[in-house]
Amino acid sequence: MRNAPGLAYRVLLVGGGLRILARTLFDGDALTSAGECGFSEALDTVRAQIPDVLLIDLTSVEALDAIERIMAERPTPILGLDPGSLSRGEAFRALALGALDVVERAVSPGPDFWHATARRLTMLAQVRVVRHVQGKLKRLAAHEGADAPFPLVAIAASLGGPKAISHVLRVIPRKFPAPVAICQHISDGFTEGLAHWLSTETPLRVQEATHERAMEPGTVYIAPSGGHMLVRPDGKLVLDTRPPVRGFRPSCDLLLSSAAESFGRRCIGVILTGMGRDGARGLKEIRERGGRTIAQNAETCVVYGMPREAVQIGAAEEILPLDRIGPTLVEWVETC
């Protein structure tokens, strides 16, 4: 699948010195930089930036450790660069750990090499990767038995979202035993008005989220424009001012991914009408960690973009018309 028109694939460079070496990598319009980091912080950077593809310099065994951690927790297409400092066996181990491909580079590769690498990265960015089996077992074992303070519903929406959200929330009772965290793509300055309007559409309490706010069941929290909203395992909200992710701040992927990490099997994720693919990866995280997931169906969407991407990558447990989503949330939350 090609990226959305006008949007370049975001490449994270992992390994010291790549930014200088790969100065011609972003000469075209197919790729853009998601930053550069070392091996030890690679997983955290992938979590924060959600790149489309990684370019990892295989200069030490730390690179292999980074690949293993990433493919266990945040599976992302990876291209490894073999500078010859590792044995061929170690280079093949990178593939065994989940890297999609490994290419050999000279000490000082020229523009032709980087242009060819850019084409390869563009191709790999379109591959849907899965968790490495060994890493998945480790992840599940680490998460087993983690109990969140209450269930959580996390909703992602974009174009056409306000009306769809109101339709879902109006059937949820005041004593709903879970908080609802919502990321809606909307123009700056409009989230406070959205919260006020939704409060007239639902029996639930609705408010714009604030930093370090302790969530309460029966309350809806709207991510403010201009900042990312995440949730912590203790049930508190975190507002993050890091740069936009794939052009969005707040990012649906960041909200849903944090919900997956913090609430695991006690999380219900929903992706509603919207253009693009923001939220699909986060929804898949929720499903892979034992939570339950819903995507709005094409017939009731204003734009079947975000839900379609979620369906295509296997993130949606159920694909439902809009009028069935609210009642399903009421049913599911009782068993979370």
- At 198-257, the pLDDT tens digits run 999 999 999 999 999 999 999 999 999 889 999 999 999 999 988 888 889 999 999 999
pLDDT value for 307: 97
How far apart CA 160 and CA 185 sit, in angstroms, is: 10
Domains 9-141 and 152-333 share a fold: yes
> Confidence band (pLDDT; 50, 70, 90) for 148?
confident
> Confidence band (pLDDT; 50, 70, 90) for 87?
low
pLDDT value for 73: 87
Could you say which DSSP state residue 311 is in? H
Residues in Cβ contact with 37 at an 8 Å cutoff, skipping those fewer than 6 apart? 12, 13, 14, 45
Higher pLDDT, 105 or 240: 240
Mean pLDDT for the stretch of residues 113-122: 93
The pLDDT tens digits for 1-53 are 344 444 689 999 998 778 777 778 888 888 999 999 999 999 999 988 889 99
Higher pLDDT, 111 or 17: 111
Mean pLDDT for the stretch of residues 122-134: 78
Domain edges within the chain: 9-141, 152-333
pLDDT value for 142: 43
> Confidence band (pLDDT; 50, 70, 90) for 137?
very low
The pLDDT tens digits for 164-190 are 999 999 999 999 999 999 999 988 888
Buried b (16+ CB within 10 A) or exposed e, 6-36: eebbbbbbbbeebeebbebbeeeebbebbeb
Could you say which DSSP state residue 29 is in? S
> Confidence band (pLDDT; 50, 70, 90) for 290?
very high
Higher pLDDT, 267 or 115: 267
Is residue 115 flagged as an active site residue?
no
Mean pLDDT for the stretch of residues 99-121: 89
Mean pLDDT of the residues in the chain = 89
pLDDT higher than threshold 50 for residue 192:
yes
Fold (topology level) of 152-333: Rossmann fold (3.40.50)
Is residue 158 flagged as an active site residue?
yes
Which of 140-144, 252-256, 299-303 shows the lowest per-residue confidence on average (mean pLDDT)?
140-144
> Confidence band (pLDDT; 50, 70, 90) for 128?
confident
Superfamily of domain 9-141: Response regulator (3.40.50.2300)
Please tell me which residue in 57, 185, 225, 258 is annotated as part of the active site: 185
Amino acid making up residue 250: P
Report the greatest alpha carbon distance in the chain: 65
pLDDT higher than threshold 90 for residue 92:
no
Please tell me which residue in 52, 57, 253, 278 is annotated as part of the active site: 278
pLDDT value for 253: 95
Please tell me which residue in 82, 132, 158, 257 is annotated as part of the active site: 158
The DSSP line for 231-248 is E-TTSBEEEE-PPPBTTB
> Confidence band (pLDDT; 50, 70, 90) for 292?
very high
Is 221 within 8 Å of 181 (Cβ atoms)? yes
pTM of the model: 0.75
pLDDT higher than threshold 90 for residue 279:
yes
